[in-house]
Amino acid sequence: MVTPIVMGQLVGHIELGMVASLGGLALINEVYENSGPWQTFVSLEYAIIFSTAAFMCGMAIAGTSSFSLILLPVVIFIVTTFGELNRVLIKNASRFIVFLIIGYHFQATRDTFHILSSYFLIGTLWTSLVLMVIKMLSKGVTVAAPIPKKYSARQYLNRWIKSLAHLRGWQFPLRITSCIAAAQVLRYFVPEHHSYWVLLTIALVTQHNIDHQPARIRNRGLGTLIGVCISFFLVYFSIPVYLLILVIALLASLRVLFRETNYLLYAGVMTPLVIILLDFGKLSSVTLLLDRLAATLAGCAISFVFSYMIWRKFLRNAASS
């Protein structure tokens, strides 16, 4: 993640380096899969396609002005509905939503759309190359993952069509779309605040398994508080760029450490990392950081109400009937 930022700094366009690093962020989790090189390559290809398409789609939607309020939840509903076809698509549909919202934040013009898209794609390609080299070098020590049972495309399609006859087949698309729609209503009435952070929080805490939702929301809120405190020191002391790059490297490393062990601390290091990558050069006051915290709490509250409290009764009744 650091290499594109360093290259961007050397050529005088560190902001584009940050965009490329975001592309790397879309793929970085794939290195932890206990699978062979070919499975890793396929997984990376899915990640590149879905994240880049989502980033471009998000920027395109943002360019539609007021129609973006409606288009964003519509696109998310369509993607998550088709994402129910199999586990691979469920995983990549969640990735799509996150980077759709990140692209939506950039609100690129016609002149910058292709530039930002190209650098994001470059970041994904660079990261995939690094991860494949790591996978090949660690081939001798990788524990082979159990081979999942294979189904035909027709079997997946038939299963998906049957699931749509019941509420559970629609529950995740409807849950997350209702949350996004509520956030868009909030954005309409409070446009001056950082509404994309509310959307991003919703995308990160809304779980496919509704039973995991409360813990995820709690840890995300507390983790963001930790992250805002870290970001406060970065803003308050106005550290130089070369030290900021070292901080990014440290946060990215801690992210790897906490991802599978402690989601609260993971959210704590991800918050300043994403803030730096998305808002480099824009964080000039503590007020903006407090706004991020307020946006996170708003996103958690929306997700808890519209994706958990309202739905758990419906899903329990559907399961008992």
pLDDT at position 229: 81
- Look at 27-41, 47-61, 208-222 and tell me which has the smallest mean pLDDT: 27-41
Average pLDDT over residues 275-279: 82
107: left (phi over 0), alpha (psi -120 to 50) or beta: left
What pLDDT, on a 0 to 100 scale, did the predictor assign at position 46? 93
Residue with tokens 């996103």: 299
pLDDT at 196 over 50: yes
**CA end-to-end span of the chain:** 49
The per-residue pLDDT for 134 is 82
Describe the crossing of helices 37-62 and 68-83 by its angle, rounded to 10 degrees. Answer: 160
Q: Please state, rounded to an integer, the average pLDDT across all residues of the chain.
A: 84
What is the dihedral sign for C-alpha 240, 242, 246, 249? positive
Mean pLDDT for 172-187 is 92
pLDDT at 207 over 70: yes
> How wide is the angle at C-alpha 196 spanned by C-alphas 32 and 270, nearest 5°?
30
Average pLDDT of the segment spanning 70-99: 92
Q: Where are the domains of the chain?
A: 1-138, 165-321
Residue 191 identity (one-letter amino acid) = P
Contact 48, 128 (CB under 8 A): yes
Which percentage of the chain shows pLDDT scores above 90?
29
Contact between residue 187 and residue 198 where contact means Cβ atoms under 8 Å apart: yes
| Token pair in block for residue 167 | 């509420």
d(CA 313, CA 310): 7
Q: Could you give the residue ranges of the DSSP H alpha helices within the chain?
A: 2-10, 14-25, 37-62, 68-83, 87-106, 110-137, 153-163, 167-189, 195-205, 213-236, 241-259, 263-279, 286-304, 310-320
Residue 267 confidence (pLDDT): 87
Residue 142 scores a pLDDT above 50: no
User: Residue 162, exposed/middle/buried by CB under 10 A (0-12, 13-18, 19+)?
Assistant: exposed
Span 20-53, pLDDT tens digits: 999 998 887 665 556 677 888 888 999 999 999 9
User: If you average pLDDT over residues 65-86, what whole number do you get?
Assistant: 88
So what's the pLDDT on residue 33?
53
